[in-house]
Amino acid sequence: MRASTAILLGLAIVGIVLPFTGLYVQFLMKCVSLALFAVAFNFFTGNVGLLSIGHAAFFGIGAYLAGYAVKEWNFTPELALGGSALAGAVLGLLMGGMAIRRQGIYFAMITLALAQMVYFFFVQAPFTGAEDGLQRIPRRAVFGMLDLSNDYVMYAFVLVLLVGVVWGLQRLMEAPFGQVLLAIRDNEPRAISLGYDVQSYKLSAFAISAAVAGLAGGIKALTLGFAGLPDAHWTQSGNVILMCLLGGLGTALGPIVGAVLIVTLESRLASLGVVQLGPLAIDLSSKVPTIIGLIFMMCVLLFRRGIVGEIAAAVAAFRAQRLDAKGG
């Protein structure tokens, strides 16, 4: 069985079961949108090896475009989400065209600077609602058939999108295009010596990643009914980096696991409120970023490959030991 097929089946089964575990569907839809955002980031940074700190720009433009298209232009969800992906891809080509020839910290800083330019454009643009954002974004029928005003129908719709995109990206990594990306990540000079146009490959991967990030932003806007400036702020890029590193950068399922963990931690910690520790009263709801940062530091020290990466490494080591034992 192909790895992409196994991942497809696993995600579908888990996604179908989760609503029956007592979890709120709104919470699950938020997990889906951020998981897709993490998958988009991982497709580029995990497989190409260049750190982008500008992916929040694609997430933000996707959220704003989908929200505005549905609310003001009466677009159907499929058209709005298609526009979000297209807008992300176009912005990705523009930003990538200016940054892709740089390496290391220079590439990261250029993407951050360009993303902040996009953010300040959103601050002043009349259609974004500034600090108020786009609120009460309606849910319309998709393909004129499925009414997405029902949370369970909406969740099923976005789950299908997540599973389909993850499967498609995994198949792409199994194809020659993906193998070239891994070759560029591992040894770019050798890939150049073999005749590959590495800049075109990297720019293509960046545009695909940006398109998926735009789609994730659109899903977030339609599921939660809101698009705001935090979606496009650089801290959103920091969040997605944290998700991928925690779950396992460069793995197929790591970004999804990391996104679910981060969203769950934020939700649980915010709901605890004030906790009394002896004479001290600590408001945990205001300390969420600090606590998540500490947890992240511990995980990086203990699980350098991320949770999924460590599990995969342990399984590989176990198989190697069994093969050695059989050979001996």
Task: Name the packing angle between helices 25-41 and 55-72 (round to 10°).
Answer: 130
Task: Tell me the percentage of the chain whose pLDDT exceeds 70.
Answer: 94
> How is the chain split among helix, strand and coil, in percent rounded to 5?
75, 5, 20
The identity of residue 228, as a single letter, is G
Task: Read off the pLDDT of residues 185-243 as tens digits, 9 standing for 90 and up.
Answer: 999 999 999 999 999 999 999 999 999 999 999 999 999 999 999 999 998 998 999 89
pLDDT at residue 110, rounded to an integer: 95
pLDDT at residue 75, rounded to an integer: 92
Q: What angle do CA 73, 142, 122 make, to 5 degrees?
A: 40
pLDDT at residue 294, rounded to an integer: 82
pLDDT at residue 298, rounded to an integer: 80
Task: Read off the pLDDT of residues 159-169 as tens digits, 9 standing for 90 and up.
Answer: 999 999 999 99
Task: Read off the pLDDT of residues 123-159 as tens digits, 9 standing for 90 and up.
Answer: 999 888 888 889 999 988 888 788 888 899 999 999 9
Predicted TM-score of the model (pTM): 0.92
Exposure class string for 240-251: b at 16+ Cβ within 10 A, else e: bbbbbbbbbbbb
Give CA torsion, residues 73, 74, 77, 80, to 10 deg: -10
Distances in whole angstroms, Cα of residue 144 to Cα of each of 27, 75, 80, 92, 225: 26, 11, 14, 31, 19
Let me know: does 66 contact 222? Beta carbons within 8 Å: yes
pLDDT at residue 312, rounded to an integer: 83
Task: Tell me the percentage of the chain whose pLDDT exceeds 90.
Answer: 59
Domain ranges of the chain: 3-270
Tokens of 270: 């915010």
Give the DSSP H/E element, type plus range, for residue 217.
helix 198-224
Average pLDDT, the chain: 89
Give 2's pLDDT tier (boundaries 50, 70, 90): low
Tokens of 317: 């080591």
Give 43's pLDDT tier (boundaries 50, 70, 90): very high
Report the first-to-last Cα separation within the chain, whole angstroms: 29
- Of 217, 318, 254, 250, residue with least CA distance to 7: 254
Let me know: does 181 contact 209? Beta carbons within 8 Å: no
